[in-house]
Structure 1
Amino acid sequence: MKNYFSSDFRLGVLGGGQLGRMLLTETQKLDIYTVILDGNSNAPCAQICNEFHQGDLLDFDTVYNFGKQVDLLTIEIENVNIDALDKLEEEGLTIFPKPKNLRTIQNKALQKVFYHEQGIPTADFTRFALKEDLEKAVLENTVSTPFVWKSARFGYDGNGVKIVKSIDDLQNLPSGECIAEKLIPFKNELAVIVARNKAGEIKTYPVVEMEFHPEANQVEYVICPARIDETVANKARKIALDVADAFDFVGLLAVEMFQTEDDTILVNEVAPRTHNSGHYSIEASYTSQFEQHVRSILNLPLGNTDSKVAGIMVNLVGAEGHTGDVIYKNIEEVLKIEGVTPHLYGKKHTKPFRKMGHVTIVNTDVNKAREIAQQVKETIKVIAK
């Protein structure tokens, strides 16, 4: 086995945001030399990685030249130049997740087509090359409202997704490739993180339940374990494994799902990386999702995915009406509460709904943890000076 530890091995990471910052905690524990590429000189990883390169993740030459300087390449964001990754892979660089997986996943239309072809249960959808084609379909009643509009590319944290109740709701949306997806009445939004290494060892984390902010369409709470029936949880884990298998995936795959009124499980979308729905694992699991990501891409034995205690994650996002240098108001109050751990992402500048950090609450009782999470949410405020 290759010596990754305290050696001249160079792990490259495309993206230097908060996911990369939390990944660095694990590479530092194992003394793995980590090289980061990000477009922002003040990225959360910039000051704490072994080596930082500033450059455009969507530029072919930048990504290709970066890849030539590392021994293995991974990502913390999927919107990267795939053509450059294809060339690097052809030339012998190991890249996980695989470029072909990223190409499918970074385009929501291709992702949905893939599920359809592979027999993975997902909401019915129609694909459109341009928003104008979708408008025409609505006018001609070949697509009926309400439905969910999704931009094929560059959607994140609630951007690129909108519930369309009438044709007027399409007016201010960007043109370009999109899908119109059937609006699913669901009981719960669930997620399962699957880890798989090159040797084929595969593990799933427990099913988590996600509660969303109604306006921002961002996750507010992640609850582990999900408060659902065991048979539903088993079904969700089985489908998540089927998705990873269909992709022949290596790395960490977060599978987001809907639990419908009749307990059918439908795949919504996936993220080919560490994910917001797994942040609870830093405090609550035997192996955090970030350590597991390192283990999976380096083909090391996978760690125990069980939880030690119930864990709830609360996202810290910029308060509405506040833009500027950040202040975490009342953080001292939440630090007084037992089982509460804040994680701040190193972003000095806040704006409305920007992800600035998260707080984990651990407790032996998931319902008690949820109560404390509510208290934390109501106490700490991300404001500007």
Structure 2
Amino acid sequence: MNYFSSEFKLGILGGGQLGKMLLYETRKFDIHTKVLDPADEAPSRIACNEFFKGDLMNFDAVYAFGKKVDVLTIEIENVNLDALEKLEDEGLKVFPPTRALRIIQNKAKQKLFYVDNNIPTADFQRFAYKSEIEDSVANGGLKFPFIWKATQFGYDGQGVKVVRKLEDLNGLPAGECITEEMINFKNELAVIVARSASGEVKTYPVVEMEFHPEANQVEYVICPARIDAKIAEKAQEIALQLSNKIKHVGLLAVEMFQTQDDRILVNEVAPRPHNSGHYSIEASYTNQFEQHIRAILDLPLGNTASKVAGIMVNLVGAEGHTGNVVYKNIEDILSMDGVTPHIYGKKQTRPFRKMGHVTIVNNDIKEARRIAEQVKNTIKVISE
């Protein structure tokens, strides 16, 4: 099929920053795009060929949108899967496939899938209601501390909490959830696997993630990860094993823990471009967004190697600031070598909202990390 400067239509469910960055690549290739998103001011609106406003969890909205395109993909997992399944049954190419999304969309199903397929992961328990956790604690079946996770609709640190005492459960949603063993880890790692529609597979280098202790959001992504080569090889092997079992098409970001005794445990996955791959825009031969487009259109996958060491710094809304966004001191970071800011186009900031990211590239990973710290301490995302 001719995708370039043609009548072909690519549909993207979700119009956030990931969709916007996917559209950098479709514009480069002159691929006609349609985007569905519930927000009037979705970041993707300015970059797609056609924008449609609609609820991504609404069957009719997703189904009607899918009938307008030739291939349908996502930039967010929280979409109506029944509509996608019907579109697939009617012959539409949907990537990642609905069967993979049904596993990934629910964290309990994800964890059960890991167990069934011998993918190493932290011990967990599944609960239909939060109240069952209290009963389990009272009966000795669950001990503090543990991690609580909502099974659906969590994102950017939401839907996850460390529970050290019973009172920590107060205010959490009452519905289905899982609890996980709290892992004493050395590093949090991630591997992005690209899989094309015809089965070609490539992995990106292992990255290391440093998290904000309060917001449970990634602050820094470091590539290459500062780990032993054997640990990196083990992480890539597990990511490939999981990719092969789940049979996604597109990208699969696999988040992992490296334990104190150097085991690799899968935490969770995302079937789309991911925060852990943003460094690739400046640092890789083929960035993750172009790779996703190549994979879902069954084009040859690009080179995943890095040209240079890369670090990504998340730009999130400062605490105490809600309203029209201002990027304070952005000129100062632009004067630093190897620094490139990406502003997502969200007009309103609030505490810990992802508003952009900055990539730092350098031949020396230590120097890149030093500059990243300087960037983090310089730029501020505040309100007017």
Trace 1:12-27 onto structure 2 (pairs within 5 A).
12-27=11-26
Alignment of 1:216-365 (within 5 A): 216-365=215-364
Task: Give the letter for the 1:160 counterpart.
Answer: G
Q: What does 1:1-40 align with in structure 2 at a 5 Å threshold?
A: 2-40=1-39
Residue 178 of structure 2 is aligned to residue 153 of structure 1: no
Query: Does structure 1 retain, via aligned residues, the 8 Å contact 2:24–2:47?
Result: no
TM norm structure 2: 1.00
Q: In 2, distance between residues paired with 1:45 and 1:381?
A: 24
* DSSP 3-state at the match of 1:45: helix
The percent of aligned pairs where both chains have the same amino acid is 69
Corresponding residue number in structure 2 for 1:94: 93
Q: After alignment, is 129-138 or 213-222 more displaced?
A: 129-138
**Structure 2 CA distance, aligned partners of 1:20 and 1:44?**
8
Task: Confirm whether residue 376 of structure 1 aligns to residue 375 of structure 2.
Answer: yes
Query: Where do residues 75-154 of structure 1 align in structure 2 (5 Å cutoff)?
Result: 75-154=74-153
Alpha-carbon displacement from aligned partner over 1:150-199 (angstroms, at most 9, x marks no partner): 10011111110111111111111111100010111000000000001022
- Residue aligned with 1:46, SS: helix
TM-score, normalised on structure 1?
0.99
How far apart are residue 291 of structure 1 and its match? 0.2
TM superposition shift of 1:47: 1.9
Cα deviations across residues 27-51 of structure 1 (Å, max 9, x unaligned)? 0000000100000010001122100
1:285-333 Cα distance to aligned partner (Å, 9 max, x none): 0000000000000000000000000000000000000111111000000
CA distance in 2, matches of 1:324, 1:169: 29
Compute the displacement of 1:365 (Å).
Answer: 0.6
Number of residue pairs aligned between Structure 1 and Structure 2? 384
Deviations 1:234-293 (A, max 9, x none): 000000000100101211000000000011000000000000000000000000000000
C-alpha offsets along residues 193-215 of structure 1, whole Å, 9 cap, x if unaligned? 00010221100000000000000
Q: Aligned-pair RMSD on alpha carbons? A: 0.5
Secondary structure of 1:372 counterpart:
helix
Q: Which moved more, 1:159-168 or 1:369-378?
A: 159-168
1:121-175, Cα deviation, whole Å (9 max, x unpaired) = 0000010111111111111111111110010011111110111111111111111
Q: Which residue is equivalent to 2:189? A: 190
Shift of 1:233: 0.1
Deviation at residue 92 of structure 1 after TM alignment: 0.4
Distance 2:213 2:31 in 1: 41
Residues 357-381 of structure 1: CA distance to partner in whole angstroms, max 9, x if unpaired?
A: 0000000011110000000000000
Q: Report the alpha carbon displacement of residue 340 of structure 1 after superposing the two structures with TM.
A: 0.2
Instruction: Give, in whole Å, the separation in 2 of the partners of 1:202 and 1:57.
Output: 29
Structure 1 SS opposite 2:46: coil
Amino acid at match of 2:332: E
Cα displacement (A) at 1:99: 0.6
1:228 counterpart SS class: coil
1:348 maps to a residue whose letter is K
Counterpart of 1:340, as a letter, is V
- Name the SS of the counterpart of 2:340 in structure 1: strand
Q: Any idea what SS the aligned residue of 2:44 has? A: coil
Once residues 271 and 110 of structure 1 are traced to their aligned partners in structure 2, the CA distance between those partners, rounded to angstroms, is 13
* Greater than 6 Å deviation, 4+ residue runs: none
